[in-house]
Homo-oligomer: A and B are copies of this chain.
Amino acid sequence: MNRRQPQIKLQAFLANLPMFSEMNGADLDRIAAHTLPHYAEKGQSICQCGDPCTGFHLVVYGQVKLGFTSAQGIEKVVEIVRPGQSFGEALMFLDAPYIVFAQALSDSMLLHVAKQAVFDELARDPGFSRRMLSGLSRRLHGLVRDVEAYTLRSSQERVIGYLLAELRDDADASPVEVHLSAGKSVIASRLNMTPEHFSRILHELGNAGLIEIHGRTVRIPDLERLRGYRV
């Protein structure tokens, strides 16, 4: 109805992201002018390995998985991207094509922010550069943690780590429930194991009384006990 409505919402959404926080109206207008919404249905591909990079992507709602496909067609999920998170920034600065694919895990809305808008803003606003550097650093840090987990931790430790990380801001009063936000096969791949093995580990932890599994909901009766569990 009102043509300006989407435009206004767009800027309000951007303003709430760490990357664009502290920007004034004019700055946001410039970014918004180079931003395009993109709706993807569950299962739909957002970008493919090899595609050129023309900007970066923000998830507004829904869920997106990033991953690679091996020569034999095996798929490995590197990251599950949630609302408010973004991907593809690094590629903008490298002029390199995507090395991962992105696919919607559920019906999702994304925003595509054109490279040029970002570059212009970087040249104009040192604060924006700093936030961009922070964002990339956080990503890098997370990836190093992932490498540590893949190379130095057992599957069981990775599963426990995942469950504990999913709590985030939730209460730490001990009887907690974690809701698995994606299918178990996707989570298994993200943790670098087969769905079968993931299932077995979940049940082992269940038998040990550390968790209770009800479909996609995992109840943790005693957080500290799960934190300290070995073998």
Contact = CB atoms under 8 A, between A and B. Distances in A.
Interface of A: 68, 70, 74, 76, 78, 89-94, 96, 99-100, 122-124, 126, 129-130, 132-134, 136-141, 143-148, 150-153, 192
Copies assembled: 2
Contacts of A78: 144, 147
B136 A147 contact: no
Given A144-B100, A151-B192, A133 B129 contact: yes
A157 to B, nearest CB: 9
A122 B132 contact: no
A144 B143 contact: yes
Contact of A134 (B70, B76, B93, B143): B93
26 contacts: A74-B152, A89-B137, A91-B137, A93-B137, A94-B137, A94-B141, A99-B145, A99-B148, A100-B144, A122-B129, A122-B133, A123-B130, A129-B130, A129-B132, A129-B133, A133-B136, A136-B137, A136-B140, A139-B140, A140-B143, A143-B143, A143-B144, A143-B147, A147-B147, A147-B150, A150-B150
A90 B94 CA distance: 17
